[in-house]
Amino acid sequence: MIYLTDLYKQIIKSFGKIDNAVDMTCGNGKDTLFLASISKKVYAFDIQETAIKNTQTLTKNYDNVEFIFDNHINIDKYITDKLDVVVYNLGYLPNGNKSITTSASSTLDSLKKVLKILNDKALVILEVYHHNPEEKNKLIDFTSNIDSELDVFKIDMLNKVNSPFLIIISKKNALK
Ligand SMILES: C[S@@+](CC[C@H](N)C(=O)[O-])C[C@H]1O[C@@H](n2cnc3c(N)ncnc32)[C@H](O)[C@@H]1O
């Protein structure tokens, strides 16, 4: 079985040169580590100190990661660069406190800010879970109505009940 995290990494690999990437939820650092290995610069957000520390440990051999111990809703306070690739792996820290989780409001509000600072060609990937129906439904609603200048894909596993799914926003043929 292929994990969605592996699938989106394959998709990101096909993007080409990445100057600025953002891991909006760095958690245990696997996505940040991957992005650090293929990008010039990576910003890694998390609201939990444990997550920031775990990610710092995992990426200790890279000097291109900027850690931001803050809610990703404040992205505009930290980033002025144009963004090439943005990843949200939503939900809670694996093996962590399940009550500290992404929320509909911060995910949506930060995504609206992200869309305003995308580079001419860009990719935004969200892994979405069913255990937060408000976040899931509002995201589907919002992304279904994004300006058609951007392409929005949903990748779902039809034969696995309640499995997570991907929403991929591609700007200027980023997937070509
Ligand atoms: C599923 S984990 C991310 C997994 C991670 N990308 C990895 O590769 O290990 C979700 C993370 O989102 C963080 N988080 C929740 N709400 C957040 C917010 N508003 N801003 C930033 N991080 C948040 C949680 O603390 C948790 O560590």
Q: Which residue has the higher pLDDT, 60 or 160?
A: 60
Residue-level pLDDT at 32: 98
**Prediction pTM value:** 0.98
Amino acid at residue number 140? I
Please work out whether the CB of residue 26 comes within 6 Å of at least one atom of ligand 1.
yes
Model confidence band, residue 173 (pLDDT cutoffs 50, 70, 90): confident
Model confidence band, residue 55 (pLDDT cutoffs 50, 70, 90): very high
Fold category of 4-171 in CATH: Rossmann fold (3.40.50)
From 136, 131, 129, select the one nearest 165 (Cα to Cα): 129
Strands 83-89 and 18-23: parallel
What is the residue-averaged pLDDT of the chain?
96
Summarised one tens digit per residue, pLDDT across range 152-162 is 999 999 999 89
Angle at alpha carbon of residue 111, lines to 17 and 132, rounded to 5°: 120
Please work out whether the CB of residue 56 comes within 6 Å of at least one atom of ligand 1.
no
In the chain, the percentage of residues whose pLDDT exceeds 90 is 93
Summarised one tens digit per residue, pLDDT across range 139-152 is 999 999 999 899 99
Q: Which atom of ligand 1 is nearest to the CA of 110?
A: 19
Amino acid at residue number 126? L
- Domain-wise residue ranges, the chain: 4-171
> Which residue is closest in CA terms to ligand 1's atom 21?
46
Partners of 171 in beta bridges: 122, 150
Please work out whether the CB of residue 101 comes within 6 Å of at least one atom of ligand 1.
yes
> Which residue is closest in CA terms to ligand 1's atom 4?
27
Q: Which residues are CB-neighbours of 1 under 8 A, at least 6 positions away?
A: none
Question: How many beta carbons lie within 10 A of that of residue 103, not counting itself?
Answer: 15
Q: Can you say whether residue 16 is alpha, beta or left, with left for phi > 0 and alpha for psi between -120 and 50 degrees?
A: left
Half-sphere exposure of 168 (CA within 13 A, CB side): 22
